[in-house]
Amino acid sequence: MRDDPEVVDLVTRARKGDRAAWDEIVERYSPLVWSICRRFRLVRPDSDDAAQTVWLRLVENLDTLREPAALPGWLARTAHRECLRRAREIRRRDGAERPLDFEPETGPDLIAEELEKAERDLLLRRAFAQLPPRCRDLLTLCLGPDPVPYAQIGERLGMPVGGIGPNRSRCLARLRRILEGGGHAAGS
Amino acid sequence: MPQGHDRWSDERLLGELARALRAGERVPPEALAAGKAVFAWRAPDAELAAGDLDTRIYHAAGLTIEVEIAPDALHVRLTPAQPAEVEARGPIPPSHPATPGEKGRFTIRPLPRFPFYLLCRTAGGRKIVTGWILG
């Protein structure tokens, strides 16, 4: 993700005023920003405010961002800073009832960890979105948290029960091919 | 993604996929919409005045913008004093024009809703914006 040419393209287009490119940036990286807010135990509406501030900062810095390819890292650092600021404000507001029970020093680790997770999740979500609808429906039913019995899956999708296992394998194989052929996969 | 010998099993891949999709769904739709909406307030052809969130003093080439937040109004001072159009811009409502006073002073009453930024159009045709003022 950090060297994703698509990210550079999105930033370049957004700089020129392309709304769709901006929307795509927000869609792609909101889970990253949100996940960092959760690490700071921020709940709504504080998490909304912190996330909103991150996007305001990006609009403000869009033209001066030195390395568009490094956008995810920039967003993660900005989210970390804004969430920390907000968490401290809450602490001041609510006194010692809600102490900060994490060390701000863990910032670089937290950021690296969240970036890696977000990178993996984004690749998976994008690969999943490229699957045919029938595969997406089948895998969604197989995902849990409570696995749907094959008989019910068969009924819902109009698929013979004996075909579900092999179809599931085929869909997962397809997902793997998309992931491995994506050009961004590590070690390829 | 792990490949070759490290390739995930079907169960592991399903588990990772479930986690990834949940992470995507966790963002409330309103937060997503709010993030998208901020793009509309962009002023791409303006100069950004470097500023300080705490002192609320912003510097552009040859111009300083001082912002003071009072309970009922926003006071802005341009140095050197000069004729200009000053407005606060934000999501709702989009623009609050300032009333010019003496010696480079401007007032916006009532205080605009946060967040907003200031846009100054100088008589010389420059467009200068501050960073977002968050409250």
Do residue A75 and residue A147 come from a single domain? no
**Residues on chain A touching B14 (C-beta within 8 angstroms):** 139, 142-143, 172
Q: Are residues A42 and A99 in the same domain?
A: yes
For residue A47, list chain B residues with Cβ-Cβ distance below 8 A: 31
pLDDT at position A8 over 70: yes
Q: Are residues A121 and A135 in the same domain?
A: no
Please, which residues bridge with residue B59 across strands?
B50, B64
> Which residue among A108, A125, A142 closes a domain?
A125
Say how many CA atoms lie within 13 Å of B78 toward its Cβ: 30
Q: Do residue A88 and residue A117 come from a single domain?
A: yes
Is residue A113 located within the same domain as residue A175? no
Q: Which of B1, B21, B134 sits opposite A128 (nearest CB)?
A: B21
Q: What is the ipTM of this complex?
A: 0.78
DSSP 8-state class, residue A34? H
Query: Would you say the C-alpha torsion B10, B16, B19, B21 has a positive or negative sign?
Result: negative
- Contact state of A121 with B39 under an 8 Å Cβ cutoff: no
DSSP letter string, B75-116: EEEEES---EEEEEE-SSSSEEEPEE-STTEEEESSPPPSSB
Looking at the predicted structure, is the pLDDT value of residue A174 above 60?
A: yes
Do the Cβ atoms of B42 and A121 come within 8 Å?
no
Pair A117, A141 in one domain: no
- Domain with A173 in it: 130-188
Task: Report which listed range, A42-56, A110-124, A145-159, B92-106, is most confident.
Answer: A110-124
SS3 B66: strand
Is the pLDDT at A27 greater than 60? The verdict is: yes
| A111-125 tens-digit pLDDT | 888 899 998 899 899
Has residue A165 got a pLDDT over 70? yes
What pLDDT score was predicted for residue A143? 84
User: Could you tell me if A144 and A114 lie in one domain?
Assistant: no
Q: What is the pLDDT of residue B70?
A: 93
User: Does B78 score more than 90 pLDDT?
Assistant: yes
CB B17 within 8 Å of CB A171: no
Q: Is some CB atom of chain B closer than 8 A to the CB atom of A172?
A: yes
Which site among A52, A54, A138 would you substitute to test the B interface, given the most B Cβ atoms closer than 10 Å to its Cβ?
A: A52
Radius of gyration of chain B (CA): 22
Percent of chain A with pLDDT over 90: 27
Whether A103 and A17 map to the same domain: the answer is yes
Q: Work out the pLDDT band at A104, boundaries 50, 70, 90.
A: low
Alpha helices in A16-45 (DSSP H): 19-39
Question: Which of residues B132 and A47 earns the better pLDDT score?
Answer: A47
Total of domains in chain A: 2
Q: Average per-residue pLDDT in chain A?
A: 83
pLDDT exceeds cutoff 80 at B73? yes
Burial degree of B83 (CB within 10 A; 0-12, 13-18, 19+): exposed
Cα–Cα dist B99/A58, whole Å = 30
CB-based contact A187 B3, cutoff 8 Å: yes
Percent of chain A with pLDDT over 70: 88
What tens digit of pLDDT does each residue of A38-64 get? Answer: 888 888 888 888 888 899 889 878 888
**How many Cα atoms occupy the beta-carbon half-sphere of B64 within 13 Å?**
7
Average pLDDT for B55-69: 91
